[in-house]
Amino acid sequence: MKEDKSVIRNIAQNRKAYHDYYIEDTYQAGIELSGTEVKSMRAGRCNFKDSYVDVEGRQAFIVNMHISPYEQGNIFNRDPLRKRRLLLNQWEINKLHGAVTRQGYTVVPTRAYFQGSLVKIDIALAKGKKLYDKREAIADRDRKREAEQELRDRTKN
């Protein structure tokens, strides 16, 4: 039975990245996984906490992404926090490397999903927010929520 490649099924999202960083640009990357890691991701056992993308030479790696060991995997399970290679075009890797080294950006994963039978990772070129920026974003969100609530209350009456 062949899977439809247009079907996208989310595995995990990194909501904290949108809180901690200004997202400038996003890229879609494949990821090199072992068989038991794919099975574990199908079960939704993936965590982005404290993970980031590191560009070494001509390759990009995702570091500290936790994929829980597959329960039936026994000796074939890999280390849950190992570095995993990302599959990107060379010009994308060069662009990320230049932004990280020269302009003070960081590269963070934002979500993992299945596209058909393939595991994909969305990564973002991001710049860190200061504490006062985070407070401002929270205040803006609260103001929007209160305005929507007021609008709903007015339309009810």
Q: What is the number of other CB atoms lying within 10 angstroms of the CB of residue 28?
A: 13
Tens of pLDDT, residue by residue over 26-60, are 999 999 887 788 888 888 888 888 888 999 888 99
CATH number for the domain whose boundaries are 8-129: 2.40.280.10
| Domain ranges across the chain | 8-129
* Residue 100 Rama label (left phi>0; alpha psi -120 to 50; beta): alpha
pLDDT of residue 21: 86
pLDDT of residue 4: 65
Cβ neighbours for 122, distance < 8 A, ≥ 6 positions apart:
26, 27, 28, 29, 109, 110, 111, 112, 113
Tens of pLDDT, residue by residue over 78-133, are 777 788 899 999 999 999 998 888 887 899 999 999 888 888 999 999 888 887 77
pLDDT of residue 81: 78
pLDDT of residue 76: 65
Tens of pLDDT, residue by residue over 6-15, are 778 888 888 8
